[in-house]
Amino acid sequence: MKIIVGLGNPEGKYNNTYHNVGFSVVDLFAKQKNLKFSTTKCQASIAKGEDFILAKPNTYMNLSGNSVYELRKYFKVPLSDILIVLDDIDMPKGKIRFRQSGSAGTHNGLRDIVNKVGPTPRLRIGIGRDENMNLADYVLSTIDNKSKEILFASYLEACNLIEKFINGELCQDITICNN
């Protein structure tokens, strides 16, 4: 059993923001698999596949570790079988990076997960940054149309990598540029 956790903020006002890229990716993957997020468990909205679970924490981003901790405990999976999908301001928009482990970098949601659960595999989607905006304002801002095109290509590639992760075919760190 694999658990794929998309990071984001649960309120509808955060839909289509840069900080909800993780939610957008797992939503697209669920759509590709004809799955619906119909269950709430472990402080997360859950969609179940045959050999995987998709989860979107119902906690706010900076408390994502609470949900991931409960998911791991409930489903009894090793850290290596949990994939965290998240935005990354330190990578150019559209760049994708998969790592088996590592630090949280500047991402507070991932930092909370690492502190409460430990380092897990992660799939980062670059969102770039706007140097003219406060960081919090930027990540919570609505994704503009030009960026949506770049990011959607990344979402599709991320879904391919999630499929490989579920099938045990994603065993090495990888970086893909989509911009």
User: How many angstroms from the chain centroid is the CA of residue 83?
Assistant: 8
CB contact set of 116 (below 8 Å; sequence gap of 6+): 65, 66, 68, 69
- Rounded to whole angstroms, how far apart are CA atoms 177 and 65? 28
45-53 long-range contacts, CB within 8 A, separation 24+ = 49/166, 51/1, 51/2, 51/166, 52/1, 52/2, 52/3, 52/4, 52/166, 53/1, 53/2, 53/3, 53/4
For residue 19, indicate whether it is catalytic: yes
Q: From the candidates 19, 72, 97, 129, which is the catalytic residue?
A: 19
SS3 label, residue 161: helix
**What angle do the packed helices 64-75 and 108-116 form, to 10 degrees?**
40
Q: Hey, what are 174's tokens?
A: 């990888």
What residues are labeled active site? 19
